[in-house]
Structure 1
Amino acid sequence: MKVLAVALFIGSLVSLPAKAAPEMLDSVSVIVDQGVVLESQIQDLVATVKRNAMLKEQTLPSDRALRTQAIEKLIIDSLQTQMAERMGIQISDPQLEQTIGNIAQGQNMTVAQLREQVAKEGTTYTKYREEIRKELILGEVRRANVRRRVYITDQEINNLVKLIDEQGNQQAEYHLGHILIEFPSEPTDTDIEQAKTRAAKVIELLNKGSDFTKVATASSGGPKALEGGDLGWMNINSMPTLFAEAVQNKAKDELVGPIRSGAGFHILKIKDMRGIEKVEINEVNARHILITPSIILSDEKAQKMLTEFREQLLAGEADFAELAKEHSADPGSALKGGELGWADPNVYDATFRDTLGTLEIDEISQPVKSQFGWHIMQLLDKRVGDATEQRKKDKAYQLLFQRKFAEEADTWIREIRASAYVELIAKKDNQ
């Protein structure tokens, strides 16, 4: 990969007119294991952060601080991208277009309107598409590597169900800002003391009125540094345990911390708070047939197989349950004729959930692709009902999973970063 980057660079110089002075079009700024980070990538990311900050009327730290944060993000992205290549993770164009369609729908836009919005923000639609593809790939890599690190016991679920019952109908949610002052994975006493001192200085700056977003972007080692440390809205039961214990009984706009963890010292700002009343649950009963592509079964063949199944079902030439038992790659539901039982549709993969939402009762979908493979699904019934004990356990499991996944994801990223070979290439004076 380094050879390719150098070859492309040399080729750009060779193509210049003979009498023209050499002009640096791009260069390698960081070597990351078997990959590189280009100067153009750093500049593009910094420009994007500045553009977004301008749209949100946010202040930013110095260009040097922004560049440092951008480089670190691109190093992490490069490591995950290389891992995705080794794992063979790809996002097809149809899957990408479906995701973009969902994004547009979520913003109450058509895809055409989304394209116009992207252009207004100074980005080409082609570049936007590839950024979405990249984020999908990185998400798949994280899920594949972190999911197996998450273990939840029945006792944890039961304890959380009890806590939710004790809290009654009001579920506290917090909109949090976050700054992480890091220390090494195996810190010395000096490392810890130095980080603690830096954290105290950050608290002092914030108490004197410094903008939290600007300080987070310049100083935080957390995953949301380039977003000004904005963690968004978090349920008290899904945020990291340290945070949940620290923010309780705190007021809006209050600073919390420093809180020490294995990663460093955390500083939180409670940007807003709200309570959630218990509501009735929209549940669906559906069944599906899952075909998983493999080395011997391509995406196209899997999709075609399900298209043929659908045609047979619509013509009355086949039985859904029998097809599911014989062909579905989901062993849990295949034995039940593909039936998934009553569930909140939000527990499903986003693509699966959104497709179910478009179906009428008894309607069979066209083949759609999720992270698990290709599906056809049939909506059997839907209802509105109160939360059952099983529903409480499902919700508790989801909250615990979100909390533990976030914690393990941060740890995993720190581990791959610590074990990576990273070399910063010094910039020459004429660059």
Structure 2
Amino acid sequence: MLCRNHLKQNLTTVLLLGAVLFSGIAHSQDSAKTGNTTEKKIRNIDGVAAVVNTGYVTRKEIDDRIVMLQKQGTKLPDSTNLRSLILDRLIIEKIQLQNAEQEGIIVTNKELDRIIGDIASKNKASYAEFKSKVIATGLSFERYKQNLREDIIVSRYRERSVDTQIKISDAEIDNFIADRMRAMAGGGDQRSAPPVKGGPEEIDVAQIFIPVDAGAGASAQAEAKKQAEALLRDAKGDVDFLQLGAAAAKENPKIKFQALGYRSPDRLPQLFYEAVRNTGGGQVAGSVVKSPAGYHVLKVLDRRAIGVAPAQQASTQEPVSTTPQNIPITQTMSRHILLKNRPGLTDQDAERRLQGYRDQVRAKTADFGELAKKYSEDGSAPNGGDLGWMSPGDLVPEFEQAMNRLQIGEVSNPVRSEFGWHLIQVLERREAQLTVEKQREFARAAIRERKFEQAYQDWVRELRDTATVKILNTDDAADAALR
């Protein structure tokens, strides 16, 4: 459950639930679809905010999205830009759905019911109970199913369109590994001498990006900020920044990381430049950067005078071997007791229960493995909570950091992760090697993540540029007749 290479599969259904059930996205029920009278058609034309290819976005859809955001307590931008920003988002959604339909991407009723059944099961509810929960949110179950169907279709269309654009060569993998080995041998990421003070320069900035949907509520915003600040603390330690980003992305596929490459200040986002203006090469920005899209953790990989290549500045340094080789690592065998996040179990109750188990183990009145078999809510419970041998980066950061602080046989205090609350015991440690093959697997995944963000943004721009979009009336709210 905790292993990163299993996280994407485990989180997919939950993410869909979060994206659809709790976002409350309200698509308008345009009366033009009835096609009963000319008067209704005219009213709907009057209510159109934008024509998108052969479809349209209505002003009521904008109104509904604003109401949803307000109900969630989301801090909205000023009214001058709000409706335009929401319209842009709705236009992209409409284009994606139209293109997916043209490519024959569908979700059958049978498949949709199976997915809803899986979501209900993960929420420890029957299909009927889950349906009641949906209706209790104020959303009709049919609208929920339609929203979910569209979410799945768009997700599959994005995956098919963007993934096919990402090509990774063996040379790129070799260079990635060589760069990491140089950084390890040099004791850090800085590759160039700093530019002359006040002179023109280029800055190589890397980021770990935690996106927050425009429709996310205050709690989602706070959780994303908390996650970003935790990553910032980790980044300030003795870690490889891009490897930290890759690990975070495996834990949560929505997280992106990338090195932006050398850019002059005017080619960096203004928010980024302000954050790293006084940050030296190899250093992390002092605080998390908030943008309209989410939260960014930034690191300056290098600063150099414009027109000076790293190879020129490094020419006087001793050469570093970049021949692929096994890397020594420490592996840990541990076990845990997990109490999952769920309604009715507060953080205080989970902490209190786990602290009680810890006291019993330390007093030798109970065996950790037996307690895990009886109380752990994880697939490892039948094995006494045993997780087997784990390498650095295999586990979620909160768990791994707490585990690494423990001596053999020691039991941790309760530890919180996105899965719930854990009690951890270290059983054994050993020295091992990260093979060249494993390094290449990691490099390929890291390069793919780095390229995905740029490929996705390029794809969205292309969709918008090739679509026929005509903005009609964004500013006015929908007429009362359309409600």
Query: Taking structure 1 as the reference length, what is the TM-score of the superposition?
Result: 0.47
Query: Taking structure 2 as the reference length, what is the TM-score of the superposition?
Result: 0.43
Larger RCO, structures 1/2 (Cα 8 Å, 6+ apart): 2
